[in-house]
A and B are shown apart, each in its own frame.
Chain A
Amino acid sequence: MNSDKPDLPSEAELADMDRDELSRLGARLDGVEVVEAPDPWPVKGTRAEKRAERQIAFWFTLSALAGLAFVVIFIWWPSKYEPPRDEEFQAYYWYTPLLGLTLGLSILGLGIGVMSYTKKFLPHEIAVQERHDGGSNELDKATILAQLSETGERSGIARRSLIKRSAGAGAGVLGLGLGVFTLGAFVRNPHAQSEGPDGLWHTGWQNPPGSTEKVFLRRDTGRPGEVSLVRPEDLDAGAMETVFPFRESERGDEHKLLLALQRADNPVMLIRLRPDDARRVIKHQGQEDFNYGDFYAYTKICSHLGCPTSLYEQRTNRILCPCHQSQFNALEYAKPIFGPATRKLAQLPIDVDPETGYFYAKRDFIEAIGPAFWERA
């Protein structure tokens, strides 16, 4: 390529060159030749040119106004929630859309202005750039190889084995660390806490080892710190209520009370069957005393993939899972009757505390809830 390079000007010639010549020389040094660069407005001051100028100014002004409107709305527009019936609702309702509209318009106006300017006022130049063919020539190849090997030789790294080994150790350990970082999360012993509530076989209804506290059924009132326990008379026949575990030791502890509502394996559906239906119930072997009268408590976690199966049809006594349309029969130990689920919903053994009259769980589920895992096909 060296042969293609234009002749370089001498210092005196360089000093004499004006801006146009310098610019052309720069392009030529990069192998670019500007063939033509016509002025888009050869006759100055035409009406068309002024119109184009005004159009671009319009976009920039629009951008400025919209940006100003955005600032004003962001600071002064009423942003506090108002219910629909109030007069202030319309103003609140438009807060977010207006923010988006004004900011969007501001950015769009700026972009359109800049693009229009380049289209309308920059010269529509035509340039030709040289391409070189094939690979580098033999001379370039030979010299670069020689330079690289000489640099390696001069650094003396081949002789300094201490440096080489310690550098290798550093890089190797770093690589190992990255590997552990990536794969470590996959290595976990799922059986480490098998007996406690955090194991796969148990849920939040299980007391931690060593504790024998009574676990009551608690409802979510929309206020996490509030404790509202469930009595049998709270539910009408044909009612379903989602309940969560509660221990007296948690009373007043906002954090624990909130966690109990959020824990994934906690939600249980407490269903009160209608008396006619309750007479037709078929119970699972070994779980005959898990219900309390017409009250049955099933886990809300689908045995298929763990969705909340809370579509309870009180006429047909079916429990539906909205994710994959599994259906369970509440009259027959919540066994699956339709859809991909193959296991019944686990039943929580419940009773009423004779002292307080509140429901409590006699113990945790006797089987694992939710989807299958290794030992549980």
Chain B
Amino acid sequence: MIMKRLRSRSKLHRRVAGLLALAVALIGAGALYSLVLPAPQTAQANQPDSVAVQQGRQIYNTTCISCHGKNLEGVDGRGPSLVGIGEAAVYFQTETGRMPAVQQGAQMDEKPRVLTPDEIEKLMAFIQSQGGGPTMPEERGEELRGTDPARGGELFRLNCASCHNFTGRGGALSSGKFAPELDGSTEDEIYAAMLSGPESMPRFSERQLTPEEKKDIIAYVKSVTDGNNNPGGNPIGGLGPQSEGLIAFIVGMAALLGITLWIGAKH
């Protein structure tokens, strides 16, 4: 009998131990799972977001729908489909005032922002919920400036300078279109433009140009625009040796001529 009790107790023991072990294993697996699994990259329509998404839909219905269609499918002859363009594209187009557009055209020009930052946030959430796409980085503003502007310059000259000029002065494209100058562009706008490829610009995904490379490019752009690359007092168009050489020649020649006349004068 003692033996039996002992046995049953050990049986109970074993059961409890087994249950405990199972619980530990489950919790461990869960913890491991949450550790190993990366956080979702895109902010899909989560519960807290859905309010923003709904408000974003309302903004869409009042400002974008006539050209981009009821379901973002685009309207023939008016505007392209917005499915899958991602929040980065929305941010760039609305933040720089290119959207909402005033009229149809080959190229939308930058103009004062129409939507408020709050409206833009909501619209971004809505468009992002409709087919995903490139998202904005978590950092904002000056955090987006990299630490290696020299390397950023290399990458800028390789990928961007053919259209935007090597110090971001912009340049001509086909049929009257043009690449804008980069003066006054914020870090966020430059990042969003690289990600989303607005208008004629190609897109540069995070795998093609890593976030670190994009930030270095921004650091370079910021170091040569907004009057930061202007030691002579006037950039003379920033076009490089032609304009600089011409000015140096004309001004320098005039100065030399003046000095020669002064040296040769009798008194």
Interface membership of chain A positions 66-105, coded 1 if the CB is closer than 8 angstroms to chain B and 0 otherwise: 0000000000000001011100010001101100000000
Contact of B231 among A96, A119, A237, A242 (CB under 8 A): A96
B7 touches A (CB below 8 Å): no
Contact A234 B208 (CB under 8 A): yes
Contact A85 B203 (CB under 8 A): no
Contact B207 A316 (CB under 8 A): no
Contact B174 A219 (CB under 8 A): no
Q: Which residues of B contact A311 (CB under 8 A)?
A: 162-163, 173
Q: Which residues of A contact B110 (CB under 8 A)?
A: none
Contact of B223 among A84, A233, A310, A338 (CB under 8 A): A84
A265 touches B (CB below 8 Å): no
A215 touches B (CB below 8 Å): no
Contact of A239 among B171, B173, B203, B262 (CB under 8 A): B203
Assembly CA distance A315 to B208 (angstroms) = 19
Q: Which residues of B contact A83 (CB under 8 A)?
A: 145, 149, 219, 222-223
Contact A242 B205 (CB under 8 A): no
Q: Which residues of B contact A25 (CB under 8 A)?
A: none
B237 touches A (CB below 8 Å): no
Contact of B208 among A94, A219, A308 (CB under 8 A): A219
Q: Which residue of A81, A85, A221 has the most chain B CB atoms within 10 A of its CB atom?
A: A221
On whether A236 and B203 interact (CB within 8 A), knowing A124-B266, A322-B162, the answer reads: yes
Interface residue ranges of B155-183 to A (CB < 8 Å): 155, 158-159, 162-163, 171, 173-175, 177
On whether A316 and B204 interact (CB within 8 A), knowing A222-B151, A322-B162, the answer reads: no
Complex: chain A residue closest to B157, CB-CB? A222
B112 touches A (CB below 8 Å): no
Nearest CB of B to A335, in Å:
15
Q: Which residues of B contact A219 (CB under 8 A)?
A: 208
B232 touches A (CB below 8 Å): yes
Contact A236 B266 (CB under 8 A): no
Assembly CA distance A220 to B151 (angstroms) = 11
Contact A97 B203 (CB under 8 A): no
Contact B208 A239 (CB under 8 A): yes
Q: Which residues of A contact B173 (CB under 8 A)?
A: 311, 313, 320
B216 touches A (CB below 8 Å): yes
Assembly CA distance A239 to B202 (angstroms) = 5
Contact A220 B231 (CB under 8 A): no
Interface membership of chain A positions 262-273, coded 1 if the CB is closer than 8 angstroms to chain B and 0 otherwise: 000000000000
Assembly CA distance A298 to B201 (angstroms) = 18
A247 touches B (CB below 8 Å): no
Contact A222 B216 (CB under 8 A): yes
Q: Which residues of A contact B159 (CB under 8 A)?
A: 241-242
Nearest CB of A to B143, in Å:
11
Contact A314 B197 (CB under 8 A): yes
Contact B208 A313 (CB under 8 A): no
B152 touches A (CB below 8 Å): yes
Q: Which residues of A contact B223 (CB under 8 A)?
A: 83-84
A327 touches B (CB below 8 Å): yes
A231 touches B (CB below 8 Å): yes
B228 touches A (CB below 8 Å): yes
Interface membership of chain B positions 195-236, coded 1 if the CB is closer than 8 angstroms to chain A and 0 otherwise: 001011111110110000100100100110010100110000
Q: Which residues of B contact A124 (CB under 8 A)?
A: 266
Assembly CA distance A223 to B219 (angstroms) = 16
Assembly CA distance A108 to B90 (angstroms) = 57
Interface membership of chain A positions 295-321, coded 1 if the CB is closer than 8 angstroms to chain B and 0 otherwise: 000000000000010111111101010
A281 touches B (CB below 8 Å): no
On whether A234 and B205 interact (CB within 8 A), knowing A124-B266, A322-B162, the answer reads: yes
Interface membership of chain A positions 214-251, coded 1 if the CB is closer than 8 angstroms to chain B and 0 otherwise: 00000111110000000101111111111000000000
What are the 5 closest A-B residue pairs judged by CB atoms, nearest first? Answer: A222-B154, A222-B151, A313-B200, A234-B207, A310-B162
Given contact pairs A115-B263, A124-B266, enumerate 19 new A-B contacts (beta carbons under 8 Å): A81-B150, A83-B219, A83-B222, A84-B226, A89-B228, A94-B231, A119-B267, A219-B208, A221-B155, A222-B148, A236-B134, A239-B197, A239-B208, A314-B197, A314-B203, A316-B174, A316-B200, A320-B173, A322-B162
7 A-B pairs within 8 Å (CB atoms) are namely A85-B142, A85-B145, A239-B204, A314-B197, A314-B200, A322-B171, A327-B174
